[in-house]
Amino acid sequence: MSDVLAMGELLIDFTPAGAEDGRSLFMQNAGGAVANVAAALAGYGADTAFAGMVGSDAFGQYLKGVLKDKGVDVSGLRMTDEINTTLAFVHLFDNGERDFTFLRKPGADIMYSNKDIDAAAIEKAKIFHFGSLSLTDEPVRSATFEALSIAKNSGVVVSYDPNYRAPLWDSADAAKDMMLRGLEFADIVKISDNEIDLLFGGMPYEDAAKMLVDQGRKMVFVTLGSKGAVCACKDGVSTVAGYIAQAVDATGAGDCFTASVLYQYLQSQKRLDALCITDIKAFADFANAAASICVEKKGGIPAMPKLEDVLARQQIC
């Protein structure tokens, strides 16, 4: 039984690494939002598994090796000879924020299908985590909803990150439709401020978080970048301040936040319906501290912090 089974994209992030003779240099890093969550959780010591697809190419072999080295169970990782591993080129701005250019038309992560699903692994997990990048295309979209049905029917807690990457969708309306559909399955939601804006217009973040709880979500976290996060459960809504950081690359920060919340929830050993606002504020504070460390390094998986470093930052601040 795994603590968390994360299903979704595992890809290469090519991160800016300076220039030579006027030409940009890029560093190869393992990434993908869902894979970042799996790696961060494994780094904290959680029993973590990953399900998804990469190519049988050198990039795919590299990615499999990275997850294994991080302690993630990769028995659910499929490899294909037909489609290359998905690639993303990261473009960084001075404040550490970033934009992406994807080579994914198609990419191997899209080709994960119903026949690749290990139902028993889902049923035995404590938490099933997924993101909206698995909802952009078939066959992975149908596979994701099939996996979600298995999880819900088995009483597995479902965690969801409606992670919006505009270039991967045909339109904003298509993205909104699928991202909202994913929310219907979720017990735990980590959503960013810009995704609240996309899905719910100009609704205040506190109101959106409360609305999602009223609709059946058990824990909701709206990340606000350096400003921290809004968190909500049936017991109320609160805002938890962020930590000061010397940001160089925000890639993976939201995934680090998600992994940190899930880890804290597992450590609490509480039922979802027994959580109070004090609990989730503590989860958010730990996650804010972790994310503040993550943004101080480049890359997705390589930037995930160690548990002792997060605890130290909380004590210092």
Residue pLDDT, tens place only, 164-201: 999 999 999 999 999 999 999 999 999 999 999 999 99
pTM exceeds cut of 0.85? yes
Provide the residue ranges of all domains of the chain, joining segments of one domain with +: 4-316
* Residue 15, pLDDT score: 83
C-alpha 41/C-alpha 217 separation (Å) is 22
The residue ranges of the chain whose pLDDT is under 70 are 93-98, 317
User: Could you name the CATH architecture of 4-316?
Assistant: 3-Layer(aba) Sandwich (3.40)
Can you say whether the dihedral through the CA atoms of 214, 154, 259, 67 is positive or negative? negative
Query: How far is Cα of residue 253 from the mean position of the Cα atoms in its chain?
Result: 9
**Mean of pLDDT over the chain:** 94
Other C-beta atoms within 10 Å of 315: how many?
Answer: 8
Looking at residue 303, its pLDDT comes to: 87
For residue 159, the model assigns a pLDDT of: 98
CA 91 to chain centre: 19
The residue type of 44 is Y
Per-residue pLDDT, 17 = 83
Locate 220 and state its tokens: 């909701």
Residues 307, 162, 17: CA angle, nearest 5 degrees? 60
